[in-house]
Amino acid sequence: MTKLVSVKELTHFINGKAVAGTSGRFGDVYNPSTGEVIAKVPLATKEETQHAIATAQAAFPAWRDLSVARRAQIVLQFRNLLEENKEKLIDIICTESGKTVEDAKGEVTRGLESVDLAIGAPHLVKGEYSVNVGGGINAYSAKYPLGVVAAISPFNFPIMVPLAQTSMAVAVGNAVILKASEKVPMTALFVSELWKQAGLPDGIWTVVNGDKDAVNELLENPAVQAISFVGSTPVAKYIYETGAKYGKRVTALGGGKNNMVVMPDADLEQVASAFIGAAYGAASQRCMAISTLIAVGEDTAERIVAILKQKIDALKVGVYTNPETDFGPVISQQSKEQVLAAINRGEQEGAVVVCDGREAEITKKSNGFFLAPTLLDHVKPGMEIYEQEVFGPVRNVVRVNSLEEAITLINSHELANGVTIFTNDGLASRKFTTEIDVGMVGVNVPIPIPVGYYNFAGFKGSRFGEGHMFGPDQARFFTKTKTISERWLSPAENTGSTFAFPSNNS
């Protein structure tokens, strides 16, 4: 039986203050390291979500009309508060997600990159101006905020992804509603207080906690102009199709089945170390985690698997308070059971178990949701463990005979989030980066996630819609462009009637 310890009843954040839920429905928030329920999160009704949307809509005009420079100043103050409260943020992230301190620090740092980009919103929302395009007409374009926009974020990055989804949206003048994951709501609520301290007007930042009822209202309500989503591919597809049906601008990022191609000329010790961190960091609960190592050549495969086995067997799984811990638990007992089932099916389908996390003591006896690392070799296309994203510490080795075979294999998969190649051959690298059909590509980089001022998104089933999670495209996604043609006539001027375009007149 799960032990309840100091269970706190959480709230929503609406119109600049904490608001108790009224639905009577709550979700459990766990400490994944102990298996204990540490909080109850309210699950909003349709009516509560409608109220939050209406409040944001009422606050929007004044924020839109505020100068972009003043908005940027508030974002800068928010950024400073994030830095000042970094240790508190890290503690909350570790408590509700089970991440190690090092991993949480890295997440906060990457989140700050998105805020830094948003501070530069005045530059990113500049328009164009042309003088005398014809007939004494000047033409110019101007970017305007959309209005009320919503972000729906996942559990695996309690602060990085929400900041990436929302910072630019706030900076360019929108009112933002965040539907944080109900598994990790405490980080979002703490961030809400920082926005308040930074001077953001009430109603411009809202957190609505909830499940499908809240999500569907955000998707269907006509006041919500845009949706940014990050999560699994099936849900991303649903978000995109439903949002588009109701006329919204939608970017929905789904899952990834990310590959690391290892060429025979690569330094395999370096490759193995890179793979370990990229594959098992955060208990493999990253959409950019390396799922599969594709070894080119049997000799490459045999050597890299032997090195990996030694390194994986030495990994330490445990609580974040232990500085020697390499990674912590998965997010829930349900997730743990799903990962164990995936390992079992992989073995049944013919994969060879090199490192078996199922047999580790921490997997079997801990009250937390811990899973020791597993490595499967001789995995082949068609196996479930190869085809589907597994959000937990089981990784695969696939053996191929050539780089061409590796490229064909990767390009044939329905998910195309990230991919990387390890090689010292420039021609192989150029061939790979040119021919691979994946959104984010690395060369001797274990996790090819771009820095915050470059666009982030995959291809195919990893992204629905044309927006990106961060980068300059965020400014375009959260604004609409008006193009104005204007001419000022002198009192004596009489052009008479014309049936041609005015700009055609010199």
Pairing of strands 258-262, 418-422: parallel
Order of all β-strands in the sheet with 17-19: 17-19, 12-14, 205-207, 175-179, 148-152, 224-230, 249-253, 463-464
Taken in order 356, 360, 362, 365, is the CA torsion positive or negative?
A: positive
287 is catalytic: yes
| DSSP three-state, residue 442 | strand
Cβ count within 10 A of residue 132? 12
Tokens of 208: 């609505």
Q: Point out the catalytic residue in the list 19, 39, 261, 287.
A: 287
**Alpha carbons 66 and 87: distance in angstroms, whole number:** 32
**DSSP bridge pairs for 416:** 459
Q: How far apart are CA 186 and CA 141, in angstroms?
A: 41
Half-sphere exposure of 355 (CA within 13 A, CB side): 24
CA angle 291, 376, 311 (to 5 degrees): 80
In what order do the strands lie in the sheet containing 479-486? 129-134, 137-145, 479-486
The first and second tokens of residue 290, run together, are 């390396």
Contact yes or no for 174/148 (Cβ under 8 A):
yes
User: At a CB cut-off of 8 Å and minimum separation 6, what does 352 contact?
Assistant: 376, 377, 378
Separation CA 82–CA 87 (nearest Å): 9
Helix and strand element counts for the chain (H, E)? 17, 23
Rg (CA), the chain: 25
CA angle 347, 352, 358 (to 5 degrees): 60
Q: Which helix (H) or strand (E) holds 54?
A: helix 46-65
**322: which 2 tokens?**
């232990």
For the beta carbon of residue 63, count every other beta carbon within 10 angstroms.
21
The residues, ordered by sequence, that sit 6+ positions from 259 with a Cβ below 8 Å of its Cβ are 290, 291, 292, 293, 294, 406, 410, 419, 420
Report, as residue numbers or ranges, the catalytic residues: 287
